[in-house]
Structure 1
Amino acid sequence: MNDATARAELEALFAAYERALMENDLDALHGFFWPSPQALRFGDGGASYGIDEIAAFRRGRAGGSPRRVLKDTRIVTFGPDHGVATTEFIREGEARTGRQTQVWVRFPVLGWRIVSAHVSLVATPAGA
């Protein structure tokens, strides 16, 4: 667990993903995902099953992702080829906290790719 090389690679990739997300770099964002019909992205706006639906979601998102600040980001690796990245975030103009999980796998030819992602916003507690 937490192989130093794998963890450093995933930390760098997670940071690059976040930069691409904030810059709305669609080509880069597409390249982070496993190019498979089995790739998955769950979000508040629905589910994208497969790389084609994930790419269509990105293309259809006018202006890209809202600006956000990350907090409590954690990256854990399981051997040299598997890892999970989790973070919470606060979007500009949004009272709710967001949560994001990415499951990463290193493929022999492709290298590291996100095989599953989940993004959600947590409901604001009553009275908050």
Structure 2
Amino acid sequence: MTIDDPQALAQVTAAFHEYERALMEDDLQAMDALFHDAPTTNRYGVGEVLYGIDAIRAFRKGRCGSPQRRLGKVAITVYGDNFATADAEFFRDGSDRRGRQSQSWVRFADGWKVVSAHVSLEGATS
């Protein structure tokens, strides 16, 4: 199995940064386009557990934007031709508390999509 094929790594990295842009600009259409449109797509957040793309979309529409943040270290790895992970540290504006984000990406016919995501804050109890 090839690890970090340069072309696939560049594609996933671009998709990851497009998602970050969309998140910071509350671009719901772009965020939706980067998540797999399926009931099997899940997202665990700091205070929510979302099963299926419909629950993820409803959460995004109801929250009126993500807290602004800056990225720390980002680690993206591509395994073979169709699977990748993206792990990132982030820091919300006005806070030194570290957040963590993990995403599983799969290459579908229409491009790389997040199929699973987890967001947490260091030291969070909920």
TM-score normalised to structure 1 length: 0.91
2: CA distance between counterparts of 1:57 and 1:76? 28
Aligned counterpart for 1:18 among listed residues 17, 20, 36 = 20
Task: Give the aligned residue type for 1:33.
Answer: F
Task: Give the aligned residue type for 1:49.
Answer: Y
- Which sections of structure 2, spanning at least 5 residues, go unmatched? none
Deviations, residues 33-67 of structure 1 (Å, cap 9, x unaligned)? 110000000011111100000000100112x1111
1:72 partner SS: strand
- Which sections of structure 1, spanning at least 5 residues, go unmatched? none
Deviations, residues 69-122 of structure 1 (Å, cap 9, x unaligned)? 101101000011110001000001234210000100001x23211000000001
Instruction: Give the structure 2 partner of residue 113 of structure 1.
Output: 113
Task: Give the aligned residue type for 2:83.
Answer: H
Instruction: Give the structure 2 partner of residue 103 of structure 1.
Output: 104
In the TM superposition, 1:1-128 aligns within 5 A as 1-62=3-64, 64-107=65-108, 109-123=109-123
Identity %: 49
Which moved further from structure 2: 1-10 or 89-98? Answer: 89-98
